[in-house]
Chain A
Amino acid sequence: MTELNRSRAVASAGDPAPAPEPKKRSQKDASLWMDTWRSLRKNPWFLISTVLLLVMITMALFPQLFATHDPRECFLGRSRQEPSAEHWFGTDIQGCDYYTRVIYGAGNSIAVGVIVTSSILVFGSLLGLIAAYFGGWVDALLMRVTDLIFAIPYLLGALVFLAVQQDRNVWDVAFILIVFTWPTMARLMRGSVFSVIHNDYVTAARALGAGPVTIMRRHIVPNALGPVVGYAAVYTGIIIGAEATLTFLGVGLQLPAISWGLQLNDAQNYLQQMPHLLTFPLIFVAITVFAFTTMGEALRDALDPKSKKR
């Protein structure tokens, strides 16, 4: 989460209006923050998504607060029961309490989702920004590297890396996903910067002799980050699913790890007979994705100077 917040802080620190005197920045920043905060507070969707995310994160950090059973207490004798008063979400194939398993799944899933998304958000956008701003051979080199990464089947990379790494934890799985997914983010940022870089205020700032770092931070990033942040919010959900695909291919988290991805993956074979096995983790993933996208949009609205004028 920290990295995600930091990148949003960068966004909010910028000022899309023509460059004012740099000395006044701290003051300006403070009022921008206040403006943003004021507009966020009034947005009910922001409040809803904040509450949802807080609940999910608490669940990920302290599952025992919510759970009713021990997640490893499984008896085959009570396999595949329908939801009941004793087992709110029923039981899974191994006869574990499914509600407890879904609660405990939040940890790994949200961790992978957030680690991967925030890393590629920072790393991918940075490279995209550099490529677009400097252009020429820098752009050519960075973009050909993205071609290269796209061309290497990620399964191959995952098999080679994870085969060397015997005990695979969340960080190893996240690392693989980061290495193979940052190019999309970099390209989005690059395209976005292209459409901003020719604006008058950038040209003006250049003419006034502002350095590249200042121009990028104060004028380009805040205006170019919109599509990237929007994509990142959805991407968190995609990554939660991708983690399960890796496990399916034998290179993801190992049993007896618990995650929503693994639950969805196991359940899809029993879609007709035991839909509850799919439905419950699905609801949790959907809520998480909903919360992230809604919050992303609320932030974007609040940061956007034009929408404030309304």
Chain B
Amino acid sequence: MTGYIIRRLLQFIPVLLVATLIVYAMVFLMPGDPIRALAGDRPMSEQVQAQLRDQYNLDDPFLVQYGKYMWGVFTQGDFGTTFQGRPVLDIIRQGLPITLTLAAVAFVFQAVIGTIAGILAAVYKDSFVDRFVQVSLVIVVALPTLAIAFLLQLTFGLNLGWFPIAGTREGFVSYILPGIVLAAVSTGIVARMLRSELIEALQSDYVRTATAKGMKRSRVVTRHGLRNSLIPVVTFLGADLATMLAGTVLVESVFNMQGLGGQVFRSIQAQENTIVVGIVILFVLFYVVVNLIVDLLYAVLDPRIRYD
């Protein structure tokens, strides 16, 4: 087991190298001149542009640029600076806690609410609860994220005043509305997925046997049904945590939170390779760990699955 974990963590290195190389190359290949765009439609003098290009190694060939950057990262922990001279590490230090908190709130919401709704929908199949879950999922999927965000801001922020409309000034409560928006669609998917799995599991022989033996219904559901239904749900939650970081772009912007999602988005638009790659390094680390945890959970949920 320990051997397996170490091997998995070592796989992080090639993934990291390939991911940063690809991302660096993509930003490099993006059409448009970042220095030109920096000045907007009020162009800077040629000499100023030349100086900036030189300062950020933009005139070097691609591999030299990439090499210089990665060398700095690995030898001195230097993630470089933005075109405006702000250290990238500074940006990461500011944004990381915000993005992680937001993702955690969303994750807990979709895991907990999704699971509860899924169990209820399966146990009371075709009941009101079941149909309600289905219809809410359909609506939430169809509604654009911005509209969901706006409706929540209007209702719970402006009219009822229960939550702040935007910003992170008020600490943890500020994360609740954006967390819900971020989790909305996935909560529905978790519920529907769990429902289908659970219905199937509840019809299986061992559950029938347990019921026939006089085991309590609630115990049957949680002990036997649920455990065998969770593998797809856990897989989905793991994969979703990965795609969630992409989802934070819109949510962070609408709720005026200064996390990494929005930062990556802006940096891509500004073609600031240093920030994009710096954050992607974090993302890779994050995914490798999350996916390892998911795989380890498989073994917990189904003892027949072993890693050696």
Contact = CB atoms under 8 A, between A and B. Distances in A.
Contact of A160 (B18, B30, B134, B234): B30
B48 interface: no
Contacts of B231: 191-192, 194-195
A262 B90 CA distance: 37
A105 interface: no
Contacts of B240: 184
A151 interface: yes
A23 to B, nearest CB: 29
A159 B34 CA distance: 14
A227 B193 contact: yes
A184 B298 CA distance: 16
A107 interface: no
A54 B204 CA distance: 35
Interface string A39-57: 0000000000000000000
Interface stretch (A5-13, A63-71, A207-215, A236-244): A236-244
A46 B151 CA distance: 33
Interface in A96-118: none
**Nearest 4 pairs between A and B by C-beta?**
A191-B235, A227-B232, A198-B304, A285-B142
Interface of B: 11, 14-15, 18-19, 22-23, 26-27, 29-31, 134-135, 137-139, 141-147, 150-151, 185, 188-189, 192-193, 196-197, 199-200, 203-204, 228, 231-232, 234-236, 238-240, 242-243, 246, 249-250, 264-265, 268, 276, 280, 283-284, 287-288, 291, 294, 298, 302, 304-305
A147 B238 CA distance: 11
Contacts of A264: 142-144, 147
Interface of A: 140, 143-144, 146-148, 150-157, 159-160, 163-164, 183-184, 187-188, 190-192, 194-195, 198, 226-227, 230-231, 234, 237-238, 240-241, 244-245, 264-265, 268, 271, 278, 282, 285-286, 289-290, 293, 297, 300, 304, 306-307, 309-310
14 contacts: A152-B19, A153-B23, A153-B246, A156-B26, A160-B30, A163-B30, A184-B236, A195-B298, A234-B192, A244-B144, A245-B250, A286-B139, A289-B141, A293-B192
